[in-house]
Amino acid sequence: MTATEFSFELPCSEAEFNAPDSESWNRVRRKVDPRKLNFQSCFKQLLSGEPLAKEVSATEFGNYMLIQSLLIQIYFERQVSSALLSASPSLSESTIVTYAAALGAWQSCWDSAIESAPDPSSRNSPLPFNSTAMLRLAHIHLGFGLYSQCELLSRDPIVKAEVFESYQNPLPLRAPHLDQAVLHAIYALRIPVRVGIAFVARGRTGHWSVQHAISHFGCALLLTHWLENIYQLVLSDGASALREEEKRLLSMVDRLVEETHLEASLGSKSDFPGRIRRLAIAAVKLWAETCKGIQVYEIVHVVGETLSLVAESLEKQI
């Protein structure tokens, strides 16, 4: 179903849903805004770039439904503009501006404090963390259609690892919204790094949904291709060819990996091109490590095995 087919009110709060009796329900209702939020009106407001009013903000489940709908719409936009139907794989500038504004409007309605509390078993979980994964995916789809050739339905890690080859998903280095997409990929890696990769692998991912495995796969795919392009650019034209934003993003990845046990694997900073390639290997390894341990969903193991194969392949290229 597309977003245009939805015609209902957004879900109520968790407190209202869990009220054991009418008296408790009425008590909770007196504390919330009585106005109902219609999905269509909220969705159209976001597409116009306007955040929802704070006094009638959507619930966590409502926000999850809205970001999922935005992701689906962006995916459909990508399908329409695919190489089979269009001479250019990029979305039109107006389309990118519209959805970038919609994602920004959605994020401004979302409780930013949730993302800074990285324990998915907290009282704010798991919906806000699932919404985070959807937001990352939405920016990746908007930045570039890397998913067009992904065998996400396959359970064969070897098949899935092939999409990390540069010829499979050519990525224009200066594509519109690419910087923002890369930034969100870095943000996706930041949380497990700051919490602790081993800690996350031992049990925190059990609280997360399948969306996180898919999101991490997409983020790793995008970041790998982006770093490879940056490596090729620096190798041919030198570090001076990088834009300031590209230098900033590269520095963010570097500092993030330096916070982990893989810091020593990066080598000397004097070997700038080689260090970029080692950053890609380290990032993929870190994502792979978060998928180890006891997991609820099979796809988490599949993604972890895939990323381990990718890291091995990248190491052979050095």
pLDDT digits (tens, 9 = 90+) for 112-139: 445 444 455 555 557 777 888 899 999 9
Count, in order, helices (H) and strands (E) of the chain. 14, 0
* The predicted structure's pLDDT at residue 116: 43
- In angstroms, the CA 202 to CA 115 distance is 20
How many residues are present in the chain?
Answer: 318
Whether the predicted pLDDT of 83 surpasses 70: no
Residue 87: the pLDDT is: 47
- Which range in 8-12, 100-104, 302-306 is most confidently predicted, on average pLDDT? 100-104
Range name among 1-15, 76-90, 161-175 with the lowest pLDDT average: 76-90
**Residue bearing the bigger pLDDT, 95 or 25:** 95
- Which residues touch 207 (CB under 8 Å, ≥6 apart)? 120, 121, 125, 126, 129
Tens digit of pLDDT for each residue in 183-220?
999 999 998 888 788 777 766 555 667 888 889 999 99
State both tokens at 136: 């990352």
Confidence at residue 203, expressed as pLDDT on a 0 to 100 scale: 61
Q: Highest-confidence range of 36-45, 76-85, 197-206, by mean pLDDT?
A: 36-45
Could you count the other beta carbons within 10 Å of the beta carbon of residue 181?
Answer: 26
pTM equals 0.88
The angle formed by the CA atoms of residues 3, 209 and 207, to the nearest 5 degrees, is: 145
Summary mean pLDDT of the chain: 84
> DSSP labels for 135-171?
HHHHHHHHH--GGGG--TT---HHHHHGGGSTTTS--
pLDDT of residue 112: 46
Which of 119-128, 167-176, 251-260 is predicted most confidently?
Answer: 251-260
CA angle 163, 314, 89 (to 5 degrees): 35
Question: What residues are paired with 38 via a beta bridge?
Answer: 9
Say yes or no to pLDDT of 259 above 90: yes
